[in-house]
Structure 1
């Protein structure tokens, strides 16, 4: 998709006050952190180091079709 010169694309979901926190966190990690969907969905609280401000990607989640089975793939530490 090519935007016309001088146009600004606005991602309104982050600015709306009624947007649930889980969606804001998801899109902020995806847009500003470069995380993939499966990496975000695989996060657990133990993956976040609040002291250093580091998020460790230790697993990813994959939803396969047609059966929509959730499969977690663990990464070695």
Structure 2
């Protein structure tokens, strides 16, 4: 536009000719992702049990009476919900916002696919689920049978939990 203004003699000189372009970064962008070995190690770690040790401490019961608890340990495992999250993210190549936006309607248990059609973002202290930025972000991803089986197991666990607290649907 300014070059045309000079050509038409509307302005004497193009002010942009005196501007130096920003220097290019010498750093090469490298995406952050697991190697195959790291992914295998991470997924295997999700299946391992872990031990939490609690030191001796005092507590107060429901009546307000103080009592002491000795040192003890608990063996736990990673909840299925987290296993599902990470397996879908790794095997589907999904972003965190895409996995968080998934609903049961997005999972096709017959064809082993997941329909990616929305994002979930945290903004201004609220969670918003919205359409993705790009139309090309809408896609259907095929997942391994083992991941779909894990998702099915989580769906059953969720239904059992909902029944236990008196919520259906």
TM-score (norm 1): 0.73
Report the structure number with the largest CA radius of gyration: 2
Cα root mean square deviation, aligned: 2.1
Gaps of 5+ in 2: 1-36, 50-76, 139-169
Distance 1:26 1:13 in 2: 14
For residues 35-74 of structure 1, the C-alpha deviation after alignment (integer angstroms, 9 at most, x for no partner) is 110101000000011111110011110112xx32211113
How many correspondences in the alignment?
68
1:22 Cα deviation (Å)?
0.5
| Residue equivalent to 1:73 | 130
Secondary structure at the counterpart of residue 29 of structure 1: helix
| Superposition map of 1:31-50 within 5 A | 31-50=90-109
Gaps of 5+ in 1: 1-7
Asked whether the 8 Å contact 1:26–1:40 carries over to 2, the reply is yes
1:33 Cα deviation (Å)?
1.4
Q: Which structure exhibits the higher relative contact order, with contacts defined as CA atoms closer than 8 Å and separated by 6 or more residues?
A: 1
Distance 1:33 1:14 in 2: 17
Q: Which structure has the highest helix share of the two?
A: 2
TM-score (norm 2): 0.36
1:61 aligns with 2:125: no
